[in-house]
Structure 1
Amino acid sequence: MSSRVYTSIASRSITASTAINSCRSCRSSSKLAYSRRYLATPVSPPSISPARRIGRGLFRYFVAPVVSLSVGYAAGLYIMSAAAVAEAPLEDKAVYDPQIDAAIDALPLVVSLRSDPRFTESRPHAAAPEHLKEQMLTAGVLTGPDRLAVPPIVWTDSEAHEMVSIVHLGRNMCGHPGIIHGGLLATLLDEGLCRCAFLALPSNVGVTANLNLNYRSPAFADRLYVMRANVTKVDGRKAWVKGHFETVPEDGKEPTTVVEGDILVVEPKWAKSLPKVVDVTA
């Protein structure tokens, strides 16, 4: 390569690099100038219309306080009412239906039991202490309108170890619409047979050791039922009882058995240390 060509190429390279550097410096200076102009220019806050300002003021100084006071007042009323319900006796929360009581009083079976001197009438659910009812299933949780609307009435013969009870089962205790839940019948029969067994045990207290049930026919809701039980055998601290639920006889017809069962009730060795909730012999 000749010296003239080399000099020409070198001069072009120098010229190109000089142009690139000058462009870079121009861009840098323009960016700096733009930044300075941007920083120097004051930014005005967004304008708010007078109507919007008035609305914000009304919400802050009028609407928000009124809403807060209303919510607080409503919450206070709710807490006070809830506390009043919690402290009220169970009879106040579950008003017994006088019409059902009147229907029970009119039953020929009830008239006969009340005229029989062998039987003693009681209402164990109603006699349970108030501070214990909310912890009891049948005397507390299941008590109320459309459930156990009235406390079952119990007649006991302490000498014969026999028991008869009248129970009303409401429409809100169903497994299928209109048909009483089988588990509820099992619960009530277990309680009734145990109550009958208590009459034959030394301390009048016992626990279920074995329960056998046979369901015979459906129990329809919002009706009265009769529970019958009698002790079949006693051996020390053990008592065997048989019983069943049946419909109330109507027009001279034989009652229909709903569920029947037998139970073994055992009096625990520590039974004497247990507090008696209700005197079953009364």
Structure 2
Amino acid sequence: MSSEINIFAGPIIEPDSPEDIEITTSLNSRFDQLEIVKKLREDPDYTEWEPYGNFTEEEKKHVFYNSKENTLKSVLYLGNGLDGWPTVVHGGTIATILDENMGRLAIENLPERTGVTANLNISYKARLGRDQYIIVEAKYDRLLSSERKAVVEAVIKDDKGKVYSEAKALFVYPKKLKLRTLGEKF
């Protein structure tokens, strides 16, 4: 008798197909019902925005920014196709999620609203499974930051508070490299 693991997640869904729209609509509905989303939407200190204004409504991620505390929270769904090992999200995917969210907060604090990642350190605390919502919480460190440098710390956790990854990063506004300004609500 042999055992096998089926790691095939099924066919790739065509963007904007009826199946894609149905799945996206379902995920957005589930997103709206998450306690963390309800709590953040009710908190007057947080402003919700959807990055990447050129994306369709269904494709956008949701970001909650608290300007008083200089914190940012994102709620993301991790679906199929992100595996590094069957059912476990690849570490590179986790690094990208952290870099994007921490960078978004750093840009809020850098001149010209732009910058680059200079250093990113990640501690992977637990295996992160796919097919779930995660919460990314990022906090700007005023004491370690300066006019051209932004230090940001972040965690990835689930809605029960279990921490999967922790990170600390340095973002800089280069003196000699001209970067495009990213504008509001990047």
Task: Quickly name the TM-score band, shorter chain normalised.
Answer: 0.7 to 0.9
Aligned length: 167
**Counterparts of residues 1-282 of structure 1 (less than 5 Å):** 92=16, 95=21, 97-125=24-52, 127-128=53-54, 151-233=60-142, 234-249=145-160, 255-269=161-175, 274-276=180-182, 279-280=184-185
Secondary structure in structure 2 of the residue aligned to 1:92? coil
Give the letter for the 1:245 counterpart.
Answer: I
Give the letter for the 1:189 counterpart.
Answer: L
Could you say if the C-alpha distance between residues 226 and 273 of structure 1 is closer, same or farther in structure 2, counting changes exceeding 3 Å? Answer: closer
2-structure distance, mates of 1:273, 1:177: 39
Secondary structure in structure 1 of the residue aligned to 2:184? coil
Q: Deviations over 1:20-44 (max 9, x none)?
A: xxxxxxxxxxxxxxxxxxxxxxxxx
Which runs of no fewer than 5 residues in structure 2 stay unpaired?
1-13
Give the letter for the 1:207 counterpart.
Answer: V
Q: Is the 8 A contact 1:123 1:152 kept in 2?
A: yes
Q: 1:204 Cα shift?
A: 1.6
Q: 1:268 Cα shift?
A: 2.1
1-structure distance, mates of 2:51, 2:84: 26
Q: Is the 8 A contact 1:198 1:280 kept in 2?
A: no
Could you say if the C-alpha distance between residues 154 and 202 of structure 1 is closer, same or farther in structure 2, counting changes exceeding 3 Å? Answer: same
Q: 1:203 Cα shift?
A: 1.8
Q: Is the 8 A contact 1:193 1:241 kept in 2?
A: yes
Q: Is the 8 A contact 2:115 2:179 kept in 1?
A: no
Which runs of no fewer than 5 residues in structure 1 stay unpaired?
1-89, 131-148, 250-254
Q: 1:150 Cα shift?
A: 5.0
Q: 1:156 Cα shift?
A: 0.5
Q: 1:206 Cα shift?
A: 1.0
Q: Is the 8 A contact 1:238 1:265 kept in 2?
A: yes
1-structure distance, mates of 2:140, 2:81: 32
Could you say if the C-alpha distance between residues 232 and 219 of structure 1 is closer, same or farther in structure 2, counting changes exceeding 3 Å? Answer: same
2-structure distance, mates of 1:243, 1:128: 26
Greater RCO structure (CA 8 Å; 6+ sep): 2
Larger mean CA deviation between 150-159 and 168-177 belongs to 150-159
2-structure distance, mates of 1:269, 1:162: 26
2-structure distance, mates of 1:199, 1:109: 23
User: Whose radius of gyration is greater, 1 or 2?
Assistant: 1
Question: Which one has a larger percent strand, Structure 1 or Structure 2?
Answer: 2
Please give the root-mean-square deviation of Cα atoms over the aligned residues, in Å.
Answer: 2.4
Give the letter for the 2:83 counterpart.
Answer: C
Give the letter for the 2:184 counterpart.
Answer: D
Q: 1:280 Cα shift?
A: 2.6
Question: Which one has a larger percent helix, Structure 1 or Structure 2?
Answer: 1
TM-score normalized by the length of structure 1: 0.54
